[in-house]
């Protein structure tokens, strides 16, 4: 796929990037960071922490990027009693969290400098690189004993680039993209797909348990990104096929609402069918996972497939359908709005 060769080589050439400092020049940390978390009353939390007693350890948590996903994730940390400092490009998006007790800093660099571990949830690879490695980026505030956890969905090349800049400061790095959309983020039911420094994974595990229902450690940096892209490639294709089924059922005189019920009770049942199906029948697409992000993930997944010479014709066709949907002004609608691209073809 030409799209990968056009995208992947761009990442290392951002004009705002500086060469990552050599980690050899950084003295070992004399003070490993300590993290702060209190036991939560949520039943979901109890099941993940029942093996260890509740305890409180001093520390500060940073959170960069407060969009559809970042805001509820940071909010769950605050509600669990964590000391959280936030930043977002549009400051007004920080206001609701500040009202809950969060601190605010004016740049990613300042957040990283004042916090022990910093989480980042950004929309795309370009944003993730800029926030981590650009002017006043988080890497400028990192030092030995700190940690950076990137929960954005990016490609492996981007994740390794960010890792190099963070680790060049002597800090630890963990990629931890999440499986789940707005509602799971609000409910603390995300799935974390992590890779990188195992020590950092173990240190931030209590925070992952606050924000999610499960976590996987997958080894070297890049593996978490790859797993997330594969998952979202499958999800995008499933939604496109489901959309075809809804439209076909209506065309042959069936009630698409009944189709949603039938599918939801059978072997191919998936939560997104029963959750999104009724709204799709009504041509309503409230954004939980924006369509533009689904198309971005399909593009990155196709690039990943091309890099290992794996044929993905279904995903390639699906990507084209999402591109059509974007061309119809549906980028900011939920990814289920891809059904509108099929209506346009009728």
Residues belonging to the active site: 228
What is the distance between the alpha carbons of residues 152 and 125, in angstroms, rounded to a whole number? 8
User: What is the rounded CA–CA span in Å between residue 125 and residue 3?
Assistant: 15
CB-side exposure of 274: number of CA atoms within 13 Å?
Answer: 10
Axis crossing angle, helix 271-281 with helix 223-251, rounded to the nearest 10:
40
d(CA 93, CA 105): 13
Instruction: Name which of 165, 188, 163 is nearest 174 in CA terms.
Output: 163
Structure tokens at 221: 């940096």
Helix (H, G, I), strand (E, B) or coil at 161: helix
Instruction: Determine whether 103 is exposed, middle or buried from the number of CB atoms within 10 Å of its CB (0-12, 13-18, 19+).
Output: middle
- Report how far apart, in Å, the C-alpha atoms of 216 and of each of 111, 118, 155, 191, 192 are: 27, 19, 18, 8, 6
Radius of gyration of the chain (CA): 21
CB atoms closer than 10 angstroms to residue 168? 21
First-residue to last-residue Cα distance in the chain: 28
Both structure tokens of 155 = 């490609």
Q: Please give the DSSP secondary-structure letter assigned to residue 335.
A: G
How far is residue 249 CA from its own chain's centroid? Answer: 34
């Amino acid at each position: 796929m030409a799209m990968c060769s056009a995208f992947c080589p761009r990442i290392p050439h951002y004009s705002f990037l500086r060469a990552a400092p050599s980690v050899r020049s950084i003295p070992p940390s004399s003070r490993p960071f300590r993290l702060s978390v209190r036991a939560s009353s949520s039943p979901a939390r109890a099941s993940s922490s029942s093996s260890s007693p509740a305890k409180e350890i001093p520390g500060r948590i940073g959170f960069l990027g407060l969009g559809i996903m970042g805001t509820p994730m940071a909010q769950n940390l605050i509600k669990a009693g964590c000391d959280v400092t936030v930043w977002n490009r549009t400051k007004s998006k920080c206001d609701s969290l500040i009202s809950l007790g969060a601190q605010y800093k004016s740049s990613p660099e300042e957040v990283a400098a004042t916090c022990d571990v910093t989480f980042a949830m950004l929309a795309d690879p370009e944003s993730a690189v800029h926030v981590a490695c650009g002017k006043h980026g988080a890497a400028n505030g990192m030092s030995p004993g700190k940690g950076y956890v990137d929960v954005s969905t990016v490609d492996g090349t981007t994740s390794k680039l960010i890792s190099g800049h963070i680790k060049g400061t002597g800090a630890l790095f963990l990629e931890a993209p999440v499986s789940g959309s707005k509602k799971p983020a609000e409910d603390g039911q995300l799935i974390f797909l992590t890779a990188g420094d195992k020590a950092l994974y173990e240190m931030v595990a209590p925070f992952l348990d606050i924000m999610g229902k499960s976590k996987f450690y997958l080894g070297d940096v890049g593996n978490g990104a790859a797993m997330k892209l594969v998952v979202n490639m499958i999800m995008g294709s499933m939604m496109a096929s489901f959309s075809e089924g809804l439209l076909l059922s209506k065309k042959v005189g069936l009630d698409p609402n009944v189709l949603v019920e039938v599918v939801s009770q059978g072997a191919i049942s998936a939560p997104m069918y029963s959750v999104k199906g009724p709204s799709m029948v009504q041509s309503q697409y409230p954004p939980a996972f924006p369509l533009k992000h689904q198309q971005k993930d399909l593009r990155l997944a196709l690039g990943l497939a091309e890099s290992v010479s794996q044929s993905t014709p279904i995903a390639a066709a699906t990507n084209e359908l999402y591109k059509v949907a974007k061309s119809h002004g549906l980028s900011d609608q939920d990814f289920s709005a891809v059904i509108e691209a099929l209506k346009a073809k009728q």
